[in-house]
Amino acid sequence: MSAESYLSRGVSPTKDEVKKAVAGQSAGEFPGSFCKLNVDIARDPDYVCSIHADGAGTKSSAAYLQYMETGDPRSFFSLAQDSLVMNIDDLACIGATDGFILSNTIGRNAHRVNGSCIAEIIKGYDHIIELLNEYGIRITMAGGETADVGDLVRTVIIDSTVVVRLRKEHVINASNIRPGNLIVGLSSTGKSVYEEKENSGISSNGLTAARHMILSKYYYERYHESLSETIPAEKAYCGKYKLSDQLPNTCMTVGEAILSPTRTYLPILGKILPKISESVTGIIHCTGGGLAKCKDFGRNVRYVKDNLFELPPVFREIFASGEISEKELYQVFNCGHRLEIYCEKEAVGEIISASESMGVEAKVIGHVESATRPDGNEVVIRGANGEFLY
């Protein structure tokens, strides 16, 4: 799959080279699962263990811009949630909803990101851990590392590693996704009962593209350190907005929209999975790879997504930039829903009811068919302006 506007900025949505590099590695105890599952760290034969690493990605560069424009180190606060949720919501896709152990790594250029900024990141971790604990999701902070690596990092990078154990009988393995399943999408926008403000839905993937397609040349001229020198000038900050501008059709600024914290779906999944786990064949976290990410899971299946959520304003502005095609938009961004639950028909009502009770819109966004070709999976997305095949 090709995504030229993303690739031209030095990022691959499909990570084909990475997949090729790890192709010879063990697939773990449950091949085809969303996260690799290994022999239990405690050697209990009834359990498996997953050790997962991810981070806030280049969203930290947007936070740096906001910090430089305002002088407010709180610009970095929500990046801790971004870094954590990109891990724990991946792990939720294998059925893990509690008992997480977290270690964080911050790599910074100390000349640009000072101690007050680091303090806000640490406060951000404490805040999201405390919040999730209120919903029965226990996360233990095991410490971490803050490294001054200015020779390698222009601003700051915020990563997390999360360890979780779960009983084998509770594992959800996406390799079981099969024809006849319905796909329930959980919205990435709006305001859930566990969020403090409206969420734009941007999450923490595609931020390289989002920054450069929405923000103006002003940031290229003033903050060269906020981007890679390998990005061609004509691809850098090509948009029309400043961070302080109002994002059309919203109650938030462009900066607030781009930095909107990555929503976690764990309060919802922790509530419903014990009730419906036998009817769930897979859960997909639509981050890197966007709505085409599911193509990597299941066997000889065709994913048909023909009832998507209305495209949220932040993604409408990215598309309106003219820097990205509609087909690529779906391949890079979540476009309105970031979690997909693959299930039997009888579970749909329970999922939608539980999600909406938490303030998160949910609906059936598609279904699964048998693949029409013998060489692998397919994804069909029926968007506003046509049908796209991946």
Question: What is the H or E stretch that residue 251 is in?
Answer: none
Q: Give 204-225 pLDDT, tens digit per residue.
A: 999 999 999 999 999 999 999 9
- pLDDT of 12 reads 58
- pLDDT of 10 reads 60
Q: Is the pLDDT of residue 48 over 60?
A: yes
Question: Which one, of 54, 72, 52, lies nearest residue 63 by Cα?
Answer: 72
- pLDDT of 247 reads 98
- pLDDT of 1 reads 37
Q: What whole-number distance in Å separates Cα of residue 119 and Cα of residue 130?
A: 17
Strand order across the 337-343 sheet: 280-285, 337-343, 182-187, 362-370, 301-305, 378-383, 386-389
Token pair for residue 354?
Answer: 């539980």
Identify the band that residue 124 occupies on the pLDDT scale cut at 50, 70 and 90. Answer: very high
Contact 106, 121 (CB under 8 A): yes
Percent of the chain with pLDDT over 70: 95
pTM value?
0.94
- pLDDT of 2 reads 45
Contact 254, 215 (CB under 8 A): yes
* Domain limits, the chain: 4-22+29-389
Question: Which one, of 46, 281, 276, lies nearest residue 168 by Cα?
Answer: 46
Q: Is the pLDDT of residue 354 over 50?
A: yes
Q: Is the pLDDT of residue 373 over 90?
A: no
Q: Is the pLDDT of residue 5 over 90?
A: no
Q: Is the pLDDT of residue 15 over 70?
A: no
Q: Is the pLDDT of residue 14 over 70?
A: no
Q: What whole-number distance in Å separates Cα of residue 389 and Cα of residue 302?
A: 10
To the question of domain 4-22+29-389 being in CATH 2.40.110.10, the answer is no
- pLDDT of 8 reads 65
